[in-house]
Amino acid sequence: MAPIAVGDALPDGTLAWFDENDQLQPVSVHSLAAGKKVILFGVPGAFTPTCSMTHVPGFIESAEELKSKGVDEILLISVNDPFVMKAWAKTYPDNKHVKFLADGSASYTHVLGLELDLADKGLGIRSRRFALLVDNLVVKVANIEEGGAFTISGAEEILKAL
């Protein structure tokens, strides 16, 4: 399956997250993105070095600036279970805007065409590192990394596109 690209409609799918009341909830991607400008970014795994020390902090630190440029939602997905994503989110006490969403079985990652096979590293099927800028369910920017690279999917690249 070809990876999602600029001009494509963002497919719907169900992810899991812990809401503001600490309740585990299924959530539709379309319910978070329809009629809005959103950033959907994905990482290979919670608690992994580049994801934890650079990629996610970049979006947390840039959230106010992104919001000031018209972004309504900043959505992080990873192929991890929702309990891992909840624990990972708690390691960022200053986060006010990034929602940590779980794609536990990689089903939504598959629909996006962004699977990354990391079985040789003991991680199984994960997500490629990416950042999408989506406006009313249409992909406007698709920054998709190759392998384990982190060159084009950070917050600063999305800021340049806004």
How many other CB atoms are found less than 10 A from the CB of residue 41? 26
Active site residue 51: yes
How many residues does this entry show for the chain?
162
What span, in angstroms and rounded, lies between the C-alpha atoms of 117 and 130?
Answer: 15
List 4, 15, 32, 51, catalytic entry: 51
DSSP 9: B
How many alpha carbons lie under 13 Å from residue 70 in its C-beta half-sphere? Answer: 11
Active-site amino acid positions: 51
